[in-house]
Amino acid sequence: MEKGEKLVIVGRGGVGGPAAMLSRKLMPEVDVTIISEEERFIVR
């Protein structure tokens, strides 16, 4: 992704959380947003 582009992740469970955190590390210039309806979310 390019500088200033918007990455939106829908969900923050086993996929969404790690995807967002590593995206931030690998692409610090990208705008990262998580959309999540759960207050707290974890699956086994």
Partner 1 sequence: MAGLATADSITNPDEMFSNANINLIKARATHVDAQKKMIALSDGSEVPYDKMVLAVGATQVVPQIEGHDLEGVFTLRQVPDAERIRAFIDERKPRRLVFIGAGFISLETATLLSASMPDYDEMTVVGRRAHPLPFMLDTEMGLNIEKYLVEKGLTMKMGEEVTKIKGQDGRVSSVELAAGQLLDADMVIVGVGARANLELANDMGLEIGRYGIKVNQFLETSNPDVLAAGDCVEKTHFITKKPVAGQIRGPAVIQGRLVAKRLAGYDIAFPGVLMSTAVKLFDKTIAATGLTEVQAQDSEGFETVSAVVDSRSKHGMISGAKPWTLKLVFDKKTQRLIGGQIISDSQAPAKEIDAVCALILGEKTIADLTTFICAGHPDCSSEPSLEPIAIAAEQALQKLRK
CA max distance for the chain: 35
Q: Does 37 sit near partner 1 (CB under 8 A)?
A: yes
> Is 42 buried (19+), middle (13-18) or exposed (0-12) by CB count in 10 A?
exposed
Q: Quote the least distance from Cβ 25 to partner 1, whole Å.
A: 8
Q: How far is the CB of 3 from partner 1 (least distance, A)?
A: 11
Q: Answer yes or no whether residue 31 interacts with partner 1 by CB under 8 A.
A: yes
Q: How far apart are CA 9 and CA 34, in angstroms?
A: 5
Q: By the criterion CB under 8 A, which residues form the site for partner 1?
A: 1, 5-27, 30-44
